[in-house]
Amino acid sequence: MEVALRRRHLVCPVCGHRAKGRFDTRPLDSAWRHLDLGIWRLEICARLRRLRCPIHGARTEAVPFARRFKGARWALMKKPENLSETQTATLRQLRAAGGEVWRAYTLKEALRAIFAPGLSIDDVELLIDRFISRARRSRLESFVKLAATITKHREGILAAVRLGVTNARAEALNNKVRLIVRRAYGFHSADAALALIMLSCGPVELSLPHELHPHS
């Protein structure tokens, strides 16, 4: 779907500076993916203009249907203490904008806090119950389902935290083995694939907590 921008003032996408005159027009159309209409893929196409910003120079005008927070993916995925200055600024913009993205981010951080080291079982139980309550009221379908799943397996999660038992190392080893098996496609025997697994992952030594501390 092609759209034409009729507003007279052009807006800088970085600082919001408004200018009446255009610098030039981009030679190619810009396209944005929209929600599909049934079986049809919907894209919005527009020929954008450029303006001369006194601070940021020549910039393509901002449009309301384009992505507001460029580069926000890594700012949302990384730990807050590991963010760069640019990512920290992006996170502040997301917080000021609010909405579903910021609610989802705060819930993600609340979930990560449950597995922080040094917490007692009482602290973990309190954080889990608090997260479940917030997720249920978030109006975000994914987190509502997650709250139901955590509620169902709550006692198992608490037992895993209390006993220190986790399948993380086994799952990591399983993923690595699957990749090696794909690389071994075409080998003449399973022994060759097993040898490649042992060469890449060996020696495979996984011990349960009660085997490491038999007298505790």
Is 106 within a domain? Answer: no
pLDDT at 110: 92
| Residue 48 near residue 25 (C-beta atoms within 8 A) | yes
| Residue 29 near residue 44 (C-beta atoms within 8 A) | no
64: left (phi over 0), alpha (psi -120 to 50) or beta: alpha
Check residue 62 and report its DSSP letter. P
Is 56 within a domain? Answer: yes
Distance CA 100, CA 94 (A): 10
Q: How confident is the model at residue 36 (pLDDT cuts 50, 70, 90)?
A: low
Query: In the predicted model, is pLDDT for residue 49 greater than 80?
Result: yes
3-class state of residue 111 by DSSP: helix
Of 45, 60, 75, the last residue of a domain is 60
Is 41 within a domain? Answer: yes
pLDDT at 107: 92
- 85-114 average pLDDT score: 85
By CB atoms closer than 10 A (0-12, 13-18, 19+), residue 69 is middle
Q: How confident is the model at residue 55 (pLDDT cuts 50, 70, 90)?
A: confident
Distance CA 180, CA 155 (A): 35
pLDDT at 212: 59
Domain that holds residue 51: 10-60
Distance CA 181, CA 189 (A): 12
Distance CA 26, CA 153 (A): 54
Query: What would the pLDDT profile of 163-191 be if each residue is shown by its tens digit?
Result: 877 777 778 888 888 888 887 777 888 88
Is 66 within a domain? Answer: no
Mean pLDDT, the chain, rounded, equals: 80
Query: In the predicted model, is pLDDT for residue 62 greater than 70?
Result: yes
Number of domains in the chain: 2
Is 26 within a domain? Answer: yes
Is 95 within a domain? Answer: no
Among 45-49, 154-158, 165-169, 187-191, the range scoring the smallest mean pLDDT is 165-169
pTM: 0.55
Query: In the predicted model, is pLDDT for residue 60 greater than 90?
Result: no
Is 189 within a domain? Answer: yes
Q: Which residue has the higher pLDDT, 115 or 133?
A: 133
CA distances 60 to 23, 50, 77, 93, 103, Å, are: 9, 4, 28, 20, 30
Q: How confident is the model at residue 85 (pLDDT cuts 50, 70, 90)?
A: confident
Is 118 within a domain? Answer: no
Of 38, 60, 82, the last residue of a domain is 60
